């Protein structure tokens, strides 16, 4: 019995040889089949999971960037392009999945300015819209204190210097020229490096109550000059009551320089 079974499984046995060859072919075929099937399934899974693989993906960002850059150039023409920057907090891939057959339409919610803004983006066909939060940074050289300054002292140009700052952070205002506030009185103590704001300084009086002043009035190219008496102290840019010495009429006029007032604010 042992010899009979030995002969049946020998390689020179015809049936055994055929069985062996078929088994070898299947053994080599199955790994390849599994490998190819796995690759095909992986490809299908990628197509399903990839956000832009099946649906059309359109890059809207060039239109958006072009609009924002042009708007900042219009609103801040005196600021170099390198000092006009912005950022947006919106996933680009989500926006680019929105198809649009026409150019996008843009509208700011309010006036665009340094700081936080919102840009409304609309597509007419197919109709959809999105709101993008845009943070605008506008950098300008503003006046800061070069050293600590004491309250009630008058400001000198040598105590000030310019520093590049984002004006979007300067909600209380700022000055661009140190010479414009020379001689102003400090209302409060100022630290070194602190931005000088209009609330920190007070313009010196250019006119005292009882002074005789020159009053400029008129419309358009017609200018009339008279003499009046100041009824109140006045600093540059302030509006004070003035009595016309000829007509005894009281008018309100803006202080435009020492000893001179004007009824036209445009003269400031």
pLDDT score, position 226 = 95
| 56 within a domain of the structure (yes/no) | no
| 54 within a domain of the structure (yes/no) | no
pLDDT score, position 94 = 78
CATH number of the domain enclosing 161 = 3.90.1210.10
Give 220 or 238, the one with higher predicted confidence: 238
pLDDT-derived band of residue 56, with 50, 70 and 90 as boundaries? low
**Which residue among 138, 159, 175 closes a domain?**
138
| 14 within a domain of the structure (yes/no) | yes
Give 190 or 49, the one with higher predicted confidence: 190
Domain that holds residue 30: 2-49
- Most confident residue range from 28-37, 38-47, 48-57: 28-37
Element (H, E) at 253: strand 250-257
67 and 133 assigned to the same domain:
yes
Kindly tell me if the per-residue pLDDT of 197 is higher than 50: yes
Dihedral sign for Cα 181, 187, 189, 190, please.
negative
**Which residue among 202, 226, 251 closes a domain?**
202
- Close Cβ partners of 78 (under 8 Å, ≥ 6 residues apart): none
| 150 within a domain of the structure (yes/no) | yes
183 and 150 assigned to the same domain:
yes
144 and 192 assigned to the same domain:
yes
**Which residue among 138, 154, 185 closes a domain?**
138
197 and 249 assigned to the same domain:
no
The total domain count for the chain is 4
Q: How many residues are given for the chain? A: 268
pLDDT-derived band of residue 174, with 50, 70 and 90 as boundaries? very high
70 and 134 assigned to the same domain:
yes
The answer to whether 209 and 180 have CB atoms below 8 angstroms apart is no
Alpha-carbon gap, residue 118 to 262, rounded angstroms: 41
Query: Strand 260-262 to strand 84-88: parallel, antiparallel, or no bridges (unpaired)?
Result: unpaired
Neighbours of 156 (CB within 10 A): 13
pTM, entire model: 0.65
SS3 labels along 199-221: CCEECCEEECCCCEEEEEECCCC
CATH number of the domain enclosing 231 = 2.30.30.760
88 and 152 assigned to the same domain:
no
Burial class (CB in 10 A: 0-12, 13-18, 19+), 168: middle
pLDDT-derived band of residue 18, with 50, 70 and 90 as boundaries? very low
Residues 64-76 have pLDDT tens digits of 999 999 999 999 9
For residue 169, what is the DSSP state?
Answer: G
| 238 within a domain of the structure (yes/no) | yes
Residues 92-148 have pLDDT tens digits of 777 888 889 999 999 999 999 999 999 999 999 999 999 999 999 999 999 999 999
Kindly tell me if the per-residue pLDDT of 51 is higher than 60: no
Token digits of residue 104? 């996008």
Q: Average pLDDT in the 239-260 region?
A: 95
158 and 213 assigned to the same domain:
no
- pLDDT above 90 covers a percentage of the chain that reads 65
pLDDT score, position 1 = 43
pLDDT score, position 136 = 97
43 and 12 assigned to the same domain:
yes
| 55 within a domain of the structure (yes/no) | no
Q: Residue 34 half-sphere exposure, CB side, CA atoms within 13 Å?
A: 6
3-state secondary structure of 135: strand
pLDDT score, position 98 = 85
- Close Cβ partners of 68 (under 8 Å, ≥ 6 residues apart): 86, 119, 134
pLDDT score, position 57 = 57
| 98 within a domain of the structure (yes/no) | yes
109 and 173 assigned to the same domain:
no
pLDDT-derived band of residue 38, with 50, 70 and 90 as boundaries? very low
190 and 147 assigned to the same domain:
yes
């Amino acid at each position: 019995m042992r010899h009979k079974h030995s002969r049946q499984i020998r390689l020179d046995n015809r049936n055994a040889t055929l069985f062996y060859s078929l088994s070898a072919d299947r053994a080599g075929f199955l790994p390849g089949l599994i490998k190819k099937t796995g690759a095909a399934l992986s490809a299908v899974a990628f197509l399903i999971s990839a956000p832009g693989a099946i649906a059309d993906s359109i890059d809207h960002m060039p239109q958006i960037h072009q609009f924002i850059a042009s708007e900042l150039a219009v609103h801040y023409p005196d600021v170099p392009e390198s000092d006009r920057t912005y950022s947006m907090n919106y996933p680009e891939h989500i926006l680019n999945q929105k198809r649009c057959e026409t150019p996008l339409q843009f509208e700011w919610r309010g006036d665009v300015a340094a700081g936080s803004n919102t840009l409304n983006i609309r597509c007419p066909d197919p109709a959809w819209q999105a709101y993008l939060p845009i943070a605008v940074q506008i950098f300008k050289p503003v006046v800061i204190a070069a050293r600590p300054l004491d309250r009630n002292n008058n400001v000198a140009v040598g105590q000030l210097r310019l520093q590049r700052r984002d004006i979007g952070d300067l909600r209380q205002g700022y000055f661009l020229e140190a010479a414009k506030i020379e001689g102003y009185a400090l209302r409060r103590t100022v630290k070194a490096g602190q931005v000088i704001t209009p609330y920190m300084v007070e313009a010196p009086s250019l006119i005292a109550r009882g002074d005789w002043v020159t009053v400029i009035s008129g419309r358009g190219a017609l200018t009339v000059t008279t003499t009046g008496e100041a009824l109140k102290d006045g600093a540059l840019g302030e509006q004070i009551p003035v009595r016309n010495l000829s007509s005894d009429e009281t008018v309100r006029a803006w202080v435009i320089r020492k000893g001179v007032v004007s009824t036209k604010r445009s003269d400031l």
